[in-house]
Amino acid sequence: MAIPLVAAGACIPDVEPTAGVVVGGQFNRLNDARYPATVADFQLDRFEVTVGRFRQFVAGYPATRPKAGAGAHPLIQGSGWDPAWDASLPAGQDELRASLECDPNFRTWTDEPAGNEAAPINCASWYLAFAFCAWDEGRLPTEAEWNYAAVGGNEQRAYPWGDEAPSQELAVYGCDTTTTVCPIPSVGSKSPAGDGKWGQADLAGSLFEWVLDYHADLTETCNNCAALTDGGYGRGSRGGAFSHTEETLSPTYRIGELPERTLSFYGFRCARGE
């Protein structure tokens, strides 16, 4: 059972993990009429999962690891946790904590609360992201669901907030990490100006977000679909990051990564059935 956001008496009232209802419908993935899709109503967390929220998963680990079939999309058979993935999770809490320290300059995790509990958790592998969402009584969004929310459904927006070009007032991006240590701000730091149609913040910028699918060529049509077959290109992610360029902020930008990797510019948010 999921636990409320706050840990150890902390209070972070501005980033409660409320899920916004995304009203389903038809749209074109990548804003391209060659790839129509239908998405059912679902809920998508307003914010990327924060350090404070993730801390509670860590505190209960490894008991918080998912059971077989957990975290499944209710309309997609075979989309739940595969016990074969257990080997790709940290063996215990110490190993988990160590994995969250993937970058000395840009990691957001601290072993004790240290003032950035409202920052998005990074350095989490795809397997950890899936496991957290399953523990939190949710799941990872499919790529189609994520894309649908980011373009405002059939509004086919150029960016989550609309058609206005990206700026520092709308998204967190553009840090030259080769020369600068840029603190990753709290989730929702560009809200409400940068929010999507259904109220989700940071769908462009902040961190790339893991999705359920393998990174694969898009099928011509999609009815509540997900790519569940490994094509050799890793798992999908969307949305750009603090450390990346304006190009990556577009909802048409796709990237795949090995699911076991822990990267400072990767995070996630959870979805739930409506």
pLDDT at position 100, please?
A: 97
Residue range 220-271, pLDDT digits in tens? 889 999 999 998 999 999 999 999 999 999 999 999 999 999 999 999 999 9
Q: How confident is the model at residue 4 (pLDDT cuts 50, 70, 90)?
A: very low
What share of the chain has pLDDT > 90, as a percent?
Answer: 86
Give 190's DSSP letter.
T
Interval 70-97 mean pLDDT: 97
Give 184's DSSP letter.
P
- Tally of domains within the chain: 1
Which residue range forms the structural domain that includes residue 243? 1-11+18-274
Q: What span, in angstroms and rounded, lies between the C-alpha atoms of 108 and 183?
A: 9
The answer to whether 123 touches 264, Cβ cutoff 8 Å, is: yes
58 sits in which H/E element? helix 51-60
Interval 102-107 mean pLDDT: 93
Residue range 186-209, pLDDT digits in tens? 999 999 999 999 999 999 999 999
Cis amide leading into 62 (omega within 30)? yes
Q: Give yes or no for residue 11 having a pLDDT over 80.
A: no
Q: In what order do the strands lie in the sheet containing 222-223?
A: 25-28, 36-39, 222-223
pLDDT at position 274, please?
A: 67
Q: How confident is the model at residue 175 (pLDDT cuts 50, 70, 90)?
A: very high
Q: What span, in angstroms and rounded, lies between the C-alpha atoms of 60 and 53?
A: 12
Interval 131-138 mean pLDDT: 97
The answer to whether 64 touches 131, Cβ cutoff 8 Å, is: yes
3-state DSSP assignment of residue 135: helix
pLDDT at position 177, please?
A: 86
Nearest by Cα to 134 from 66, 48, 60 = 66
- What the block records as the tokens of 35 is 């790839």
Distant-in-sequence, close-in-space partners of 222: CB < 8 Å, separation ≥ 6: 29, 35, 36, 37, 38, 144
pLDDT at position 3, please?
A: 34
Residue range 15-71, pLDDT digits in tens? 555 778 999 999 999 999 999 999 999 999 999 999 999 999 999 999 999 999 999
CATH of the domain at 222: 3.90.1580.10
pLDDT at position 17, please?
A: 59
pTM of the model: 0.93
